[in-house]
Chain A
Amino acid sequence: MALLTVSGSPHVQSNQSTKKIMWTVIIALFPALLVSIYYFGIDALMVTLTSVVFCVGFEWLIQKYILKTKTTIGDGSAIITGVLLAFNLPSNVPLWIVGIGALVAIGVAKMSYGGLGKNPFNPALVGRVFLFISFPSKVAMSEWPLPKPLFDSSISDALTGPTPLLALKNGQVVDLWNMFIGATGGSIGEVSAIALLIGGLIMLFRKVITWHIPVSFLTTAGVFSLILWLVNPSEFIHPSYQILAGGMLLGAIFMATDMVTSPITYKGQLIFGCGCGILTIIFRSFGPMPEGVSFAILIMNAVTPLIDKASSPKRFGY
């Protein structure tokens, strides 16, 4: 007779898996990718593909030759890091810079801690910030590629111009509707609010994320910037622009919600989101740069263990 399996209960498991979660996120990133290809053309796709290939490649190489462990590239997490890294870069960035960013994201921020689930900081953000401080002229210039719709032949050459945040900081006028649909300058993945929101809804619906981080992040940022704007509307940017411009939605929906680097409990996630919101507005309003989302999230990543400790759930029977 065949042997029976003997193991501890429970004997059934849910159909959730690491792979399913990761692929859901990848699917959720597609609307934003498609919009950016529409507006920035084949460049956007090239940067994204390069980033993904490098990220997956570095993970495979490091696991095979340095860590000598079974490869985990099939779980899809390196693909997400690749896409998110590309989403934080302009479409005209030289591809070799993308490669360096991928090496820092995967090699330094992820694999050196032990791979998926062990990294304290969001790998894509670490890669982006590394490029940001190393090659400011290539990835954080004042002139970004402007949208040039794929089928619009009236614009012959790719133009560049300031991102909405920079323009606003300089006192220029920016069209809110263009920011909502993505017809604006900026990083590959951050331009279209609607595409990011659709992605967020996909993840919410598939229970990959919960509402806690995005909502607390955006609400706090909105309220804080509203207060600043009410105090001095000529110096501070209106909250609606703050929310729609730059990496705010990309950060709140896809970066801050990274489960590995954010708190475990809902209570902790609310604290985390509030922290991100406040820091982002501080950096944007009082810092030297127009952007602040990356730094805000990375700082909150660092605080996550502390938040986890402080936000233990209430135990039953105590």
Chain B
Amino acid sequence: MKTFNKGGVHPQENKLSNDSAIEVFPLPKQAVVFVSQHLGAPSTLVVQKGDKVKAGQLIAKAEQFICANTHSPYSGTITKIDFATDFTGYKKPAVYIDVEGDEWMEDIDTSKDIVREIKLDSAQIIEKIKEMGIVGLGGAAFPTHIKYMLPQGKKADFLIINAVECEPYLTSDYRLMKEKAEECLTGIEILKKALNVDKALVGIEANKPDAIEHLTKISKNYKGINIVPLKTKYPQGAEKQLIYALTKREVPSGKLPIEVGCVVNNIGTAQAVYYAIQKNMPLVQNILTFTGKNVKQKKNLLVRVGTPIQSVIDYCGGLPEDTGKVISGGPMMGKAISDLSAPTVKTTSALLLMSKKESSRKEETNCLRCGKCVTVCPMGLEPIKIAQLAENRLWEDTEKSYAMDCIECGSCLYTCPAGRPLLDLIRVSKNHIGDIRRKRAQR
């Protein structure tokens, strides 16, 4: 079975919410929608305090190149435009909405009918993806339309769809594939057309056999979509690793996937694209896995963007007694939440609750030089070496040890028997290298 070529780990899968069908989360009374929810330049607000908005209405416009539109997920009144704290503790401009009913913009098709026929051509699709504020739902929130505007002289051979879901606990993509296979596949067909390629490769890990079977069956009705089972190994969902697993092509250091003729999007993004193109619906909701070993009601929820995290927790039976950590995303690459009153964003794919015991790191000892961090690094780096250099504040040397190639998958820290904070030290190195490079550029 196919997989990537270097390193990797296999943490306990803990897909506890596998059997919970997607449930529509009730609308909150008040919502907070961040003006910018993507990687890139900030969007420009186009509404004011006191405005009445409908669900799907544009509230912030992309006016720069790497930028994305933001739409209101709710109908209601804008009560305030102010800074709000996001789940990692940063203050960002946001629109506060008092939710009234659920009235959508007239040109949005909210029916459940599957629309197969693609009327738009490549350029129109890309423009529409931009208009609908689609960002990559794999986690990075990179504006999707940019990926399809290929640089001069570059040609794509494959559309690659990331349905790997290699993070433990997460099940939203799995449920999506089981319940909304046609929407996903039509979305993939649209992306294929946008990219002008004949072939889409959908990578799914072998621990989801029924999703593989289901999608393979339905993909027979579509042309050029290959469902490829992959060996279960983390971090298969990392872009470069997935490309290698599916095509044996190695994206050069510091380069984008298009360098090897690939464009990668998440399966959730493909579904969002389906809604954008066929239903005229902007990206205002996503599927969120609510899970954790102590969580009684493990769920997969269809949540509108801007729902307070606390209200999701309350809906699922409240915070268990000994909760020590709440994570947005999976346990390997997710971010620890510092403020539960923060709202969800376009890319909030999971809320993972960990007990106090689970949330503390193991006791740290001296490095044993066992080399396991080197063995598991999917980028072929030597975390042990970068960490040593970082501890001695030799930032220039961390750059020479290729710290910037680290994809922050966390396999090194996960594996280290000595419990050394390897990835933390590499992250610090990357920050310093960033400073060094900026200074160098100024010179």
Contact = CB atoms under 8 A, between A and B. Distances in A.
A317 B255 contact: yes
Contact of A316 (B240, B363, B374): B240
B418 A117 contact: yes
Main secondary structure of the interface of A (DSSP, over half): loop
A11 interface: yes
A190 B324 CA distance: 50
B302 interface: no
Given A12-B332, A315-B405, A20 B369 contact: no
B366 A9 contact: no
The 5 closest A-B pairs by CB, nearest first: A10-B410, A264-B371, A117-B366, A16-B417, A317-B253
A264 B369 contact: yes
Question: Which residue of B358, B362, B369, B375 has the most chain A CB atoms within 10 A of its CB atom?
Answer: B369
B62 interface: no
B253 A318 contact: yes
A2 B414 CA distance: 26
Interface in B408-431: 408, 410-411, 413-419, 423-424, 427
A315 B379 contact: yes
A10 B331 contact: yes
Interface of B: 5-6, 9, 11-12, 89, 168, 240, 244, 250-255, 323-327, 331-338, 340, 352, 354, 356, 358-363, 365-372, 374-375, 377-382, 384, 402, 405, 408, 410-411, 413-419, 423-424, 427
Nearest to B339: A4
15 contacts: A5-B359, A8-B423, A9-B331, A9-B335, A11-B334, A12-B11, A12-B331, A17-B365, A18-B418, A116-B366, A117-B366, A259-B368, A315-B402, A316-B379, A316-B380
Contacts of B424: 8
Contacts of A43: none
Given A13-B414, A318-B253, A5 B379 contact: no
Contact of B365 (A18, A312, A313, A314): A18
B190 to A, nearest CB: 30
Contact of A12 (B244, B375, B405, B414): B414
A317 B251 contact: yes
Interface residues of A, number: 39
A316 B404 CA distance: 12
Contacts of A5: 324-325, 336, 356, 359-360
Given A9-B335, A263-B371, A318-B253, 15 more contacts: A2-B324, A4-B325, A8-B424, A11-B332, A11-B334, A11-B336, A12-B12, A14-B416, A116-B368, A118-B366, A261-B369, A313-B377, A315-B405, A317-B253, A317-B255
A66 interface: no
Contacts of B402: 315
B382 A313 contact: yes
Question: Which residue of B340, B417, B423 has the most chain A CB atoms within 10 A of its CB atom?
Answer: B417
B69 to A, nearest CB: 29
B339 to A, nearest CB: 9
Main secondary structure of the interface of B (DSSP, over half): loop
A3 B103 CA distance: 38
Given A72-B365, A264-B369, A10 B423 contact: yes
A119 to B, nearest CB: 10
B405 A316 contact: yes
Contacts of B423: 8-10
Interface string A263-279: 11110000000000000
Given A17-B419, A21-B417, A11 B327 contact: yes
A17 B366 contact: no
A13 B372 CA distance: 13
A312 B370 CA distance: 15
Nearest to A263: B371
B9 A318 contact: no
Contact of B325 (A11, A18, A261): A11
A133 interface: no
A315 B406 CA distance: 11
Given A10-B332, A11-B359, A265-B371, A316 B250 contact: yes
Contact of B323 (A2, A8, A114, A316): A2
Contacts of B338: 4, 6
A156 interface: no
Nearest to A312: B382
A7 interface: yes
A192 to B, nearest CB: 27
Interface in A94-119: 114-118
Contact of B253 (A12, A312, A315): A315
Interface in A1-55: 2, 4-14, 16-18, 20-21
B330 to A, nearest CB: 8
B369 A260 contact: yes
Nearest to A260: B369
A312 B379 CA distance: 12
A143 interface: no
B86 to A, nearest CB: 13
B6 A316 contact: yes
Given A4-B323, A13-B419, A117 B414 contact: no
A38 to B, nearest CB: 32
A207 B156 CA distance: 42
A4 B324 contact: yes
A229 to B, nearest CB: 35
Contacts of B325: 4-7, 11
